[in-house]
Amino acid sequence: MTADAAASVAVVGCGYWGKNLVRNFNELGALAAVYDAHPGRAEALAQQYGVPARGFTEVLADPAIAGIVIAAPAERHATLAREALLAGKDVFVEKPLALEVAAADSLVALARDKSRILMVGHLLQYHPAFLTLRSMVRDGRLGRLQYLYSNRLNLGKVRREENILWSFAPHDLSMILSLVGALPETVSATGSYYLHRTIADVTTTQMSFPGGQSAHVFVSWLHPYKEQKLVVVGDQGMAVFDDGEPWDSKLSLYPHRIEWREGMPVPNKADREPVPIDQDEPLKLECAHFLECIVTRRTPRTDGVEGVAVLRVLDAAERSMTSGHPVSLTTSADDIFVHDTARVDRPSTIGAGTKIWHYSHVLSGSALGAGCVVGQNVSIGPDVKIGNDCKIQNNVSVYKGVTLEDGVFCGPSCVFTNVRNPRAEVNRRDEFSPTMVRRGATIGANATIVCGTELGSYCMIGAGAVVTRDVPPFALVAGVPARRIGWVSHTGDRLGADLVCPRSGRRYRESGTNKLEEIVVQAAAT
Burial status of residue 64 (CB atoms within 10 A of its CB: 0-12, 13-18, 19 or more) = exposed
pLDDT band at 521 (very low <50, low <70, confident <90, very high): low
- pLDDT higher than threshold 90 for residue 468: yes
- pLDDT score of 526: 32
- pLDDT score of 6: 62
What CA–CA distance (Å, rounded) separates 137 from 146? 11
Q: Rounded mean pLDDT of the chain? A: 90
pLDDT band at 201 (very low <50, low <70, confident <90, very high): very high
364/495: higher pLDDT: 495
| Long-range contacts from 73-79, C-beta under 8 angstroms, 24+ separation | 73/13, 73/161, 74/99, 74/161, 74/162, 74/166, 75/99, 75/161, 78/103, 78/104, 78/106, 78/107
pLDDT band at 101 (very low <50, low <70, confident <90, very high): confident
- pLDDT score of 261: 76
- pLDDT score of 525: 38
What CA–CA distance (Å, rounded) separates 149 from 233? 9
DSSP SS3 for 26: helix
| Contact (Cβ atoms closer than 8 angstroms) between residue 28 and residue 287 | yes
pLDDT band at 253 (very low <50, low <70, confident <90, very high): very high
368-406 per-position pLDDT tens digit: 888 899 999 999 998 898 988 999 999 999 999 899 998
Q: Percentage of the chain surpassing pLDDT 70?
A: 96
pLDDT band at 5 (very low <50, low <70, confident <90, very high): very low
| Average pLDDT of the residues in 251-273 | 81
- pLDDT higher than threshold 90 for residue 352: no
pLDDT band at 356 (very low <50, low <70, confident <90, very high): very high
- pLDDT score of 473: 95
Sort residue 146 into left (φ over 0), alpha (ψ -120 to 50) or beta: alpha
What CA–CA distance (Å, rounded) separates 465 from 442? 12
| Contact (Cβ atoms closer than 8 angstroms) between residue 372 and residue 392 | yes
Residues facing 454 on adjacent strands: 436
DSSP SS3 for 252: strand
What CA–CA distance (Å, rounded) separates 485 from 168? 51
Residues facing 38 on adjacent strands: none
For the four alpha carbons of 330, 331, 332 and 336, in that order, the dihedral sign comes to negative
DSSP SS3 for 241: strand
- pLDDT higher than threshold 60 for residue 472: yes
pLDDT band at 197 (very low <50, low <70, confident <90, very high): confident
| Average pLDDT of the residues in 33-61 | 95
- pLDDT score of 3: 39
What dihedral angle (degrees, nearest 10) is formed by the CA atoms of 304, 309, 310, 314?
130
User: Which range (8-22, 261-275, 430-444, 487-501) has the least confidence?
Assistant: 261-275
Q: How far is CA 119 from the centre of its chain?
A: 8
317/512: higher pLDDT: 317
The amino acid occupying position 354 is T
| Average pLDDT of the residues in 320-335 | 77
Closest CA to 83 of 52, 102, 51, 106: 106
- pLDDT score of 4: 39
- Which residue ranges form the domains of the chain, and what is each CATH number? 3-116 (3.40.50.720), 125-278+314-328 (3.30.360.10), 333-518 (2.160.10.10)
Terminal-residue alpha carbon distance, the chain:
34
Asked, as a colleague might, if the bond just before 52 is cis with ω within 30 of 0, I would say no
pLDDT band at 2 (very low <50, low <70, confident <90, very high): very low
User: Which range (31-40, 98-107, 160-169, 353-362) has the least confidence?
Assistant: 160-169
Burial status of residue 255 (CB atoms within 10 A of its CB: 0-12, 13-18, 19 or more) = middle
> Is residue 313 within a helix (H) or strand (E), and if so which, with residue range?
helix 304-323
Q: Percentage of the chain surpassing pLDDT 90?
A: 68
